[in-house]
Amino acid sequence: MKSTSLSALILSLTVSVSPLVVPHTALAQDDESTELGVIVVDADGQKAKSYKASRNSSATRSDTPVTKIPQAITTVTPQALKDKSANSLDDALSDVSGITQGNTIAGANDAIMRRGFGESRDGSILTDGLNTALPHSFNATTDYVEVLKGPASTLYGVLDPGGMVNLVTKKPEDTFSAETWSKFYAYGAGRYSKKAGFDVTGPAGDSGFSYRLIAEGENGDYWRNFGDKKNWLIAPSLKWERDGTEVVLSYTHNDYLTPYERGTVYDATTGTFLDISPRQRLDEAWSEIDGASDLFKASVKQQLGGNWVASVNYAYSKDSFSADQTRATAYNATTGILTRRSDVRGYYDTTVHSLRTDLTGSEDLMGFENEFLFGMALRKEDIARAALQTCNLNNRLNVNNPVYGAISPCTYNAATAAEEYQHMRTQAVYAQDRVHLTDQLIAVAGLRLEHYDITAGSGSTENSDTNGNALIPNAGLVWEVRPDSSLYANVARTFRPNSSINNPYGSLDPEEGISYELGSKLDVTDWLSGTLAVFYAEKKNVAYALAPGVYSTAGLVRSKGVELDLAGQLTDELQVIGSYGLTDAVVVEDEDPLLLGNNLANVARHTASLRIAYDYGEVFDGAGSLRFGGAIKGVGRRAGDADNSFDLPGYGTVDLFASYTIEREHPIEIQLNLNNIFDKTYYTSSIGSNALGIAVGQSFNAALSVGMKF
């Protein structure tokens, strides 16, 4: 990535604090974005650190207690993000049940598997409830993260039955606060990186305007034996409020340079992974992605009187990158020789426009209280990329005695590179009604009508041309057994159009899914919240190859399981997050009988986690306060490919953290995170189609952050 004076300025002028430690005021429950009320307030009215969230608006588009929503929802609060020093979306979701990593395309994108479904760039990761082109949505602007389990297509359109992830960003606040932070990562073997940034927010006099500016820069080593990471971000935002009207404008620019590497190899001959250090790369230092992304958001919310609110939310986003890769094509277990080639993608541009308008309100009809939602959504997504070019087809690397530098990158030839493209347009109208049948019984019903139009191909060849309409209903029922507990049930459909840039799909029927869920919820004020859910989901019309170049839709994949998520304040000092997920995801119908009964790739049957934090309180005669804790995470065995020819083994990791706050006019906080303290070798995901691209989890590493609040 080109060096910039701004990133150097950020790194040189800022001092201390962890990247996600932001003075946090109570979240506006009527904000236009999908925000949660995540701050717990004690009896004296003081804000407390919290792992627990009691309200949500993703599922209803209006602020609603979680016990009144007939769907499993998990929120990763700001305090949880801070304690784990989350540096990626995978870190953020490490305590959520039923979540595993999918094929990240050599680390280029987030790929979150939810209840057995998901893939990179599948539209399931939203920012403030809107689709974006961002390859990695989690950054310094993220306030908290929420996971809406199960179907969400009635309100959010094109999705798999597994659900969606929504990242809620930090907004301008009406009181002044500021902080700076710096962070040092140590990976061992003399490899380290550093990050620094600042966040300032406050009112602009009594004009009704408030502002926020977040900036962050990162520069240093990749955690494996070579490679660099560079990243800088700047994010200004502005809010105006007056007489029931709120307008928020925000912009985020991100420049990034990251390694583009596929990890390690599974040896089918011996039935083991390569017996090499997890830090050893099998590619070259020039294998990297150089890119930039932009996100502009605008929202307007207007109180209409009574209980009615109108809102308009729009996002424009673009991601552009070029990439060089050393790709493994074969492995000889007898000689230890890995055959490699060079790939280059001259450009890859994705642009997304996302518009949503909502009208929400409540009225009494025929003696019943009704909470209405009416909306319209438009989405326009365009991909333009250079066709992949390859060279140096038979380079050989001895994995037991690697000599790097014997293969060079391809020279991109724009004159011979065909442009590959995909254009998707969707328009939808939707409505949802929550009817309070009694004081304890709530029925929910919704319906979405969506029109889609997709074309995709390469050069003058059009490989996909499909359009149509989808009718997407949902229904649910909540029974509040007590004010702090409820039982619920829901059923809903999803859809995803089939298209392919590289293969001649033609006009295939869209994938269609349906999900059933039963569950119970608990939300005891200032103590504990939790959800226990049992689910069953199916997805049909999965595209597959009848023969080379001939595709059809058939097949049926099924996922069923149980999920438990708990979070709360067990005592005045002790906080906890716990989760367990059982996911059984298999192929139940297919033209290929060899695939019947196979597990879906990268889906763990079991996931579990336990995170504990303890507020020790004052130390050193009141000079400061101490907080510490740790987490255990376990992920079960996962199929490595569709043929189930190999498995990724299960693993468990242990993390520890401690933070010390120096109490002064401008508090200083020092936090140390020790991750994977037993230096466990583990594998987070596979490429899904072969055994030559197995992502490796980070070895033991440490992160030291120091921050100051103003």
Least confident of 8-12, 79-83, 271-275, 277-281: 8-12
- C-alpha 24/C-alpha 26 separation (Å) is 7
pLDDT bin (cut points 50, 70, 90) of residue 549 is: low
Q: What 3-state class would DSSP assign to 82?
A: helix
- C-alpha 469/C-alpha 467 separation (Å) is 7
Strands 99-101 and 163-169: unpaired
Strands 485-496 and 441-458: unpaired
pLDDT bin (cut points 50, 70, 90) of residue 508 is: confident
Q: What is the pLDDT of residue 545?
A: 59
Helices (H) and strands (E) in the chain, counts: 4, 40
- C-alpha 451/C-alpha 430 separation (Å) is 12
What average pLDDT does the segment 624-631 reach?
A: 96
pLDDT tens column, 275-322:
999 999 999 999 999 999 999 999 999 999 888 999 999 999 999 999
- C-alpha 636/C-alpha 476 separation (Å) is 31
Q: Which domain holds residue 220?
A: 5-709
pLDDT bin (cut points 50, 70, 90) of residue 16 is: very low
What average pLDDT does the segment 217-225 reach?
A: 96
Instruction: Provide the number of structural domains found in the chain.
Output: 1
Phi, psi dihedrals of residue 454, rounded to the nearest 5°: -130, 130
Q: What is the pLDDT of residue 498?
A: 86
Phi, psi dihedrals of residue 5, rounded to the nearest 5°: -65, -30
pLDDT bin (cut points 50, 70, 90) of residue 1 is: very low
Q: Could you tell me if 188 and 113 are in contact, meaning their C-beta atoms sit under 8 angstroms apart?
A: no
Using CB atoms within 10 A of its CB, is residue 243 exposed (0-12), middle (13-18) or buried (19+)? exposed
- C-alpha 441/C-alpha 435 separation (Å) is 8
| Alpha carbon 218 to chain centroid, angstroms | 20
Q: Could you tell me if 643 and 594 are in contact, meaning their C-beta atoms sit under 8 angstroms apart?
A: yes
Supply the DSSP string of 346-414, one letter for each residue.
EEEEEEEEEEEEEEEEEEEETTEEEEEEEEEEEEEEEEEEEPPEEEEEEEEEETTS--TTSS-PPPP-T
Bigger pLDDT: 98 vs 542: 98
| Alpha carbon 50 to chain centroid, angstroms | 21
Q: Is 49 left (phi over 0), alpha (psi -120 to 50) or beta?
A: beta
Q: Is 555 left (phi over 0), alpha (psi -120 to 50) or beta?
A: left
- C-alpha 154/C-alpha 494 separation (Å) is 8
Least confident of 35-44, 442-451, 563-572: 35-44
**Nearest 10 degrees: CA dihedral of 113, 114, 119, 125?**
-110
Q: What 3-state class would DSSP assign to 595?
A: helix
Q: What is the pLDDT of residue 98?
A: 96
Which runs of consecutive H residues, i.e. helices, occur in 233-279?
A: none
Strands 163-169 and 125-127: parallel
What average pLDDT does the segment 166-191 reach?
A: 96
Taking 70 as the threshold, does the pLDDT of residue 35 lie above it? no
Q: What is the pLDDT of residue 54?
A: 77
Q: What is the pLDDT of residue 206?
A: 87
Q: What is the pLDDT of residue 538?
A: 95
- C-alpha 357/C-alpha 102 separation (Å) is 32
What average pLDDT does the segment 478-499 reach?
A: 93
pLDDT tens column, 105-143:
999 999 999 999 998 888 999 999 999 999 999 999 999
pLDDT tens column, 647-690:
999 999 999 999 999 988 899 999 999 999 999 999 999 998 89
Task: Name the percent of the chain in helix, strand, coil, to the closest 5.
Answer: 5, 60, 35
The DSSP bridge partners found for residue 670 are: 660, 706
Taking 80 as the threshold, does the pLDDT of residue 33 lie above it? no
Nearest residue to 355 (alpha-carbon basis) of 131, 134, 168, 60: 131
Q: What is the pLDDT of residue 542?
A: 78
pTM, two decimals, is 0.90
Length of the chain: 710
Structure tokens at 342: 């060079």
What average pLDDT does the segment 423-430 reach?
A: 97
Phi, psi dihedrals of residue 594, rounded to the nearest 5°: -70, -20
Least confident of 93-107, 245-259, 615-629: 615-629
Q: Could you tell me if 558 and 588 are in contact, meaning their C-beta atoms sit under 8 angstroms apart?
A: yes
Cβ atoms within 10 Å, residue 388? 17
- What is the percent of the chain where pLDDT is above 70? 91
Bigger pLDDT: 48 vs 624: 624
**Edge-to-edge, what's the strand order for the sheet holding 163-169?**
73-76, 142-149, 163-169, 125-127, 130-131
What average pLDDT does the segment 384-401 reach?
A: 96
pLDDT bin (cut points 50, 70, 90) of residue 380 is: very high
The DSSP bridge partners found for residue 669 are: 661, 707
Nearest residue to 407 (alpha-carbon basis) of 323, 340, 344, 345: 340
Q: What is the pLDDT of residue 24?
A: 34
Taking 80 as the threshold, does the pLDDT of residue 145 lie above it? yes
What average pLDDT does the segment 362-378 reach?
A: 94
pLDDT bin (cut points 50, 70, 90) of residue 409 is: very high
Q: What is the pLDDT of residue 10?
A: 33
Supply the DSSP string of 195-215, one letter for each residue.
EEEEEEEEE-TTSSEEEEEEE
End-to-end CA distance of the chain: 33
Taking 70 as the threshold, does the pLDDT of residue 42 lie above it? no
Whole-number average pLDDT of the chain: 90
- What is the percent of the chain where pLDDT is above 90? 78
The 8-class DSSP code of residue 262 comes to -
What average pLDDT does the segment 52-79 reach?
A: 84
CATH number where 694 lies: 2.40.170.20
Q: What is the pLDDT of residue 541?
A: 85
